[in-house]
Structure 1
Amino acid sequence: MKHGYLIDMDGVLYRGSKLIPGADHFVKQLLARDIPFMFLTNNSQRTRRDMVAKLGRMGIQVEEKHIFTCAMATARFLAHQKPGGTAFVIGEGGLLAALHRNGYAVVDHKPDYVVIGEGRTFNLEQVEAAVNMVQEGAKLIATNMDPNCPTQNGIRPGCGAMVSMVEKATGVEAFSVGKPSPIMMRAARKELGLTTAETTMIGDTMETDILGGVQLGFNTVLVLSGGTKKEDLQEYAYRPDVIVDSLAEYTQLLEESEWHTPCPSPGLLPELVAVAG
């Protein structure tokens, strides 16, 4: 049966600038076996080309077609909602490039939308401008609502933490297109030409990767190499189909089944039930 993967990046392939052991081998196997896949990231800072270069430095050789960012999903959504619109942007190159590519002008006066993504230049002057624009009628958009992001040194504030300042000040809730939104995850699936049953979502975060996959009916694989620990699973009403320590372990399970099944070994299920149910 045809099958393919949507794969998170931070905490699955790498943490910060450090490759998670085994991630490169898994991707090489996907390429060698011509298995369709796409990396999904809620990081809006970098363009597709930037992400390809970063992965290349870590030994993962892929093309731009393998990358799908929340910035791309956001820009495509806005272009569909209001073609040729305008946006005030708090964010970096990946978000700005995606908006321009989809026909949007970036402005600092009376925008149609205020769009907020990750950024290390975030400041209160930008927040004040965004608050005033939202009060004047601009629609508030977040590229994602992740409260934090994993790094090799711990965590850093995510887009959700940044946009919450504008939400609190205005009383307006942001609309987000990033994971776990079906807008982003369904678009990536369709771009791969897969059906729901043919798709497996691999991620390290229950609230985004796994939740989105469960809601859309995808197979789901949780890796414990990122932000989620096994003992955390008892807090959730939903659970992944498979839990592994990392992509290295998942690759081993697939190799044992000769890559015939996306979710290996029924022997794992009793453990999943015990931990997550």
Structure 2
Amino acid sequence: MKKILDNSQAKAALANVRGYVFDIDGTLALADRRLSGYQALPGAGDLLALLRQRELPFVAFTNGSTKTPLQLSQELGRIGIEVDEQHTLTPVSVAVDHFRRRRFRRLLVLGGEGVWRPLIEAGFEVVRSPERADDVDAVLIGWHPEFVLADLDAACRAVWAGAGLFVVSTAPYVASRDGRTLGISGALAAAVRSITGKRAIVLGKPSAYALACASNRLGIPPDQMAIVGDDPSLENAMALRGGALSVGVHTGLSDAADFDRLPADSRPHLSLPGVAQLLELVS
């Protein structure tokens, strides 16, 4: 599908959408530089309310791992963005699905509560770095601003012993009210790779694993979704990979010019000032 330019084409395409995947940071809301204290972006709450009214399923999917899905669902609910825990996704949600398929049992985690708690609740045996665990099935790197050298040592020794290496995201930054907030997990994964030579498998957006997780939660195939986000390399790339309708918004990391500069076959189908304009199109 080529980029859609006029309202009639946009409305026709959106009429065929059976479910939505929304990015959070820069799309539905903006947090402070500590990735907390969310403020809703215009139209976000009303758009989700309209989709609920029409019984169109949606998920809110962040690449962040500072919070558990429950914590994130509760924080968004306080600002009028109502998404239940089951439909609030982080890369750790993807990790749970993938690690179960791989029949992993024991994991080494570099990260805070948003990384380790969902894994424990899902039944995995979790070792938290800097404690060493050379017998784990996998190492998962997430949001870990308190990183110290001992964390790197534990991760490398587990990888040398044969553990798989996974990372929630390699995005260098995320959108916040203060502009770009640095990512952590990609830098830590790069450090482990520089020592062990092992490249981390990305579980968050735009990976095929992330797309499959969203599809499973929605209960619809990717080619019947719309994926809405502010990052050309994340939500837009994931949408185009899966044959979904890609909706780029200009309220986060990217503006209209950033989307327009993409090669023609890599542009979103819709490029909108924000989800308020998407609300107008689907109303």
- In the alignment, the residues of structure 2 paired with residue 95 and residue 121 of structure 1 have an alpha-carbon distance, to the nearest angstrom, of 13
Q: Which residue does the alignment assign to 1:87?
A: 107
**1:241 counterpart = 2:269:** yes
Change in CA separation of 1:130 and 1:195 when aligned onto 2, cut-off 3 Å: closer
Q: Which residue does the alignment assign to 1:21?
A: 42
1:5 is aligned with what amino acid? Y
Q: Deviations over 1:9-43 (max 9, x none)?
A: 11101111222122111112112222111111111
**1:109 counterpart = 2:133:** yes
Q: Which residue does the alignment assign to 1:274?
A: none
Change in CA separation of 1:130 and 1:29 when aligned onto 2, cut-off 3 Å: same
- In the alignment, the residues of structure 1 paired with residue 17 and residue 239 of structure 2 have an alpha-carbon distance, to the nearest angstrom, of 18
3-state SS, counterpart of residue 175 of structure 2: strand
Q: Which residue does the alignment assign to 2:3?
A: none
Structure with more relative contact order (C-alpha pairs < 8 Å, separation 6 or more):
2
2:236 is aligned with what amino acid? I
Q: Which residue does the alignment assign to 1:8?
A: 23
**1:148 counterpart = 2:169:** no
Q: Which residue does the alignment assign to 1:72?
A: 93
2:280 is aligned with what amino acid? Q
5+ long unaligned stretches in structure 2: 1-15, 32-37
Q: Deviations over 1:211-270 (max 9, x none)?
A: 011011001100011111222231445111000010011111222xxxxxxxxxxxxxxx
CA contact (8 A) 1:72 1:95 kept: no
- In the alignment, the residues of structure 2 paired with residue 197 and residue 121 of structure 1 have an alpha-carbon distance, to the nearest angstrom, of 40
2:96 is aligned with what amino acid? A
Q: Which runs of 4+ in 1 moved over 4 A?
A: none
CA contact (8 A) 1:38 1:67 kept: yes
3-state SS, counterpart of residue 151 of structure 2: helix
2:160 is aligned with what amino acid? Q
**1:35 counterpart = 2:50:** no
Aligned residue runs from structure 1 range 148-167, under 5 A: 148-158=173-183, 159-167=185-193
Q: Which residue does the alignment assign to 2:229?
A: 203
- In the alignment, the residues of structure 1 paired with residue 153 and residue 179 of structure 2 have an alpha-carbon distance, to the nearest angstrom, of 29
1:65 CA displacement: 2.2
Calculate the TM-score normalised by the size of structure 2: 0.84
- In the alignment, the residues of structure 2 paired with residue 88 and residue 81 of structure 1 have an alpha-carbon distance, to the nearest angstrom, of 15
User: Identity, % of aligned pairs?
Assistant: 28
1:2 CA displacement: 6.2
3-state SS, counterpart of residue 197 of structure 1: helix
3-state SS, counterpart of residue 34 of structure 1: coil
1:119 CA displacement: 2.5
Count of aligned positions: 254
